[in-house]
Structure 1
Amino acid sequence: MQAIPFPEEPERILLILPTWVGDVVMSTPFIRALFERFPQAEITLLMNRHLYSLLEGSPWVSHCEFWPPRNRTAAAKQQHRELLSRLRAKEFDLAVMLPNSLRSAWLAFRAGARRRVGFNRDGRGLLLTDRVAVPNRLNREYQPMPLCDYYAVLAAALGMDHPGDGLQLFLTEEDDTAVEQRLRAEGVKAEQPLVVLCPGANFGASKCWAPERFAAVADRLVTEYSAAVVISPGPGEEPLAEAIRDHMAQASVLLTEPCLSLGELKSLIADADLLLGNDTGPRHFGRAFDTPRVTVFGPTEQKWTDTSHGSETIVKVEVPCGPCHKKVCPLEEQVCMTRVTVDRVVEACRAELAAVL
Structure 2
Amino acid sequence: MTVLQALLKHADRLVGRLIIQLLPPSSHRDVRLPPISVLFIRPGGIGDAVLLIPAVRALRRCFPGVSIDILAERRNAGVFVLCPGISSVRRYDVASEFRAALKSRYDLVIDTEQWHRLSAVAARLIRAGARIGFVTNERRRLFTQAIPYEQDDYEADSFMRLLAPLGCGGGRGEGQFLDVAERDAETAESLLASLKRRVFVTLFPGASIAERCWGGGKFAELATRLQRKEIAVVVVGSAVDSEDAETIERAGALNLAGKTSLAETAAVLARSSLLVSGDSGILHIAVGLGVPTVSLFGPGREKKWAPRGDSHIVINKDLPCSPCTTFGYTPKCPVNARCMADISVDEVESSVLALLATKKIQ
Q: Report percent identity of matched pairs.
A: 28
- Asked whether 1:34 is paired with 2:43, we answer no
- Aligned 8 A contact 1:316 1:336 in 2: yes
Separation (CA, whole Å) in 2 of partners of 1:252 and 1:115: 51
The structure 1 residue matched to 2:211, chosen from 200, 206, 211, is: 206
Residue 12 of structure 2 corresponds to: none
Separation (CA, whole Å) in 1 of partners of 2:286 and 2:83: 17
Root-mean-square deviation over aligned CA pairs: 2.3
Separation (CA, whole Å) in 2 of partners of 1:328 and 1:215: 28
Q: CA deviation at 1:32?
A: 0.8
Quickly say closer, same or farther: Cα 1:333–1:128, change in 2 above 3 A. closer
Separation (CA, whole Å) in 1 of partners of 2:312 and 2:149: 27
Aligned to 1:87, the other structure's residue is in SS state helix
Separation (CA, whole Å) in 1 of partners of 2:181 and 2:138: 40
Residue 106 of structure 2 corresponds to: 92
TM-score computed with the length of structure 1 as normaliser = 0.84
Separation (CA, whole Å) in 1 of partners of 2:144 and 2:337: 45
Question: What is the aligned residue count?
Answer: 328
Quickly say closer, same or farther: Cα 1:328–1:96, change in 2 above 3 A. closer
TM-score computed with the length of structure 2 as normaliser = 0.83
The structure 2 residue matched to 1:195, chosen from 186, 193, 201, is: 201
Q: CA deviation at 1:50?
A: 4.7
Quickly say closer, same or farther: Cα 1:303–1:120, change in 2 above 3 A. same
Task: Name the amino acid aligned to 1:169.
Answer: L
Task: Name the amino acid aligned to 1:209.
Answer: W
Aligned to 1:165, the other structure's residue is in SS state coil
Aligned to 2:106, the other structure's residue is in SS state coil
Residue 233 of structure 1 corresponds to: 237
Task: Name the amino acid aligned to 1:62.
Answer: S
Task: Name the amino acid aligned to 1:255.
Answer: L
- Aligned 8 A contact 1:45 1:63 in 2: yes
Residue 19 of structure 1 corresponds to: 44
Q: CA deviation at 1:155?
A: 1.7
Aligned to 2:195, the other structure's residue is in SS state coil
Separation (CA, whole Å) in 2 of partners of 1:109 and 1:4: 14
Separation (CA, whole Å) in 2 of partners of 1:173 and 1:220: 33
- Aligned 8 A contact 1:165 1:307 in 2: no
- Aligned 8 A contact 2:59 2:169 in 1: no
- Asked whether 1:171 is paired with 2:180, we answer yes
- Aligned 8 A contact 2:82 2:263 in 1: no
Separation (CA, whole Å) in 2 of partners of 1:245 and 1:131: 49
Match runs of 1:224-303 below 5 Å: 224=229, 226-246=230-250, 248=251, 251-256=252-257, 258-303=258-303
The structure 1 residue matched to 2:140, chosen from 125, 140, 145, is: 125
Quickly say closer, same or farther: Cα 1:7–1:252, change in 2 above 3 A. closer
Separation (CA, whole Å) in 2 of partners of 1:236 and 1:91: 38
Separation (CA, whole Å) in 1 of partners of 2:259 and 2:61: 35
Runs of at least 5 residues in structure 1 that lack an aligned partner in the other structure: 70-75, 137-142
Quickly say closer, same or farther: Cα 1:317–1:30, change in 2 above 3 A. same
Separation (CA, whole Å) in 2 of partners of 1:276 and 1:8: 43
Residue 19 of structure 2 corresponds to: none
Q: CA deviation at 1:288?
A: 1.8
Aligned to 1:114, the other structure's residue is in SS state strand
Runs of at least 5 residues in structure 2 that lack an aligned partner in the other structure: 1-27
TM-superposition CA deviations, 1:97-156 (whole Å, max 9, x none) = 111331222112222223111112332223222223x242xxxxxx42211221232121
Residue 22 of structure 2 corresponds to: none
The structure 2 residue matched to 1:334, chosen from 328, 332, 337, is: 337
Separation (CA, whole Å) in 2 of partners of 1:23 and 1:8: 27
Separation (CA, whole Å) in 1 of partners of 2:140 and 2:67: 26
